[in-house]
Amino acid sequence: MSHTVLICDDAIFMRTMVGDILTQAGFEVVGEAETGVQAVEKYQQLRPDLVTMDIVMPDMGGIDAVREICKLDPNAKILMCSAMGQQALVVEAIQAGAKDFVVKPFQPSRVLEAVQRVLA
């Protein structure tokens, strides 16, 4: 059975791209969230195997969403999607419980490597 994924990003562009990469690699995208609040809600509903999480989102950012999700499920597997220049935020996200990170611009191979690490 393929792994299920919840994609959290406020840009459709990014959601589409991450979705494309993961779908091609055989993942099943079961949900998308545009805000941190949605991400937490959908996590609770869908309990996906993997979450990709943008750091900067409206209505609760990605880091707070990681904290909330980890409260719900300490074993949540969350991959942070960061842009350049967000070193400090990625550190915070990792401390909050995210398992790994990828840096935009996304290279499909890097995304998939990171996903494998998170799911390992």
Q: Which residues bind other proteins (CB under 8 A)?
A: 7, 10-17, 19-21, 23-24, 29-32, 56-58, 82-85, 87-88, 90-91, 94, 100-108, 110, 113-114, 117, 120
CA angle 17, 20, 22 (to 5 degrees): 110
Q: In residues, how long is the chain?
A: 120
* CB neighbour list of residue 46: distance below 8 Å, 6 or more residues apart: 4, 6, 30, 31
Residue number with CB closer to other proteins (1 or 109): 109
The nearest distance, CB 120 to other proteins, in angstroms, is 6
Residue number with CB closer to other proteins (68 or 100): 100
Residue number with CB closer to other proteins (44 or 107): 107
Side-chain-facing half-sphere of 99: CA atoms under 13 Å: 20
Picking from 7, 36, 10, the residue whose alpha carbon sits closest to that of residue 22 is: 7
The nearest distance, CB 13 to other proteins, in angstroms, is 5
The nearest distance, CB 118 to other proteins, in angstroms, is 10
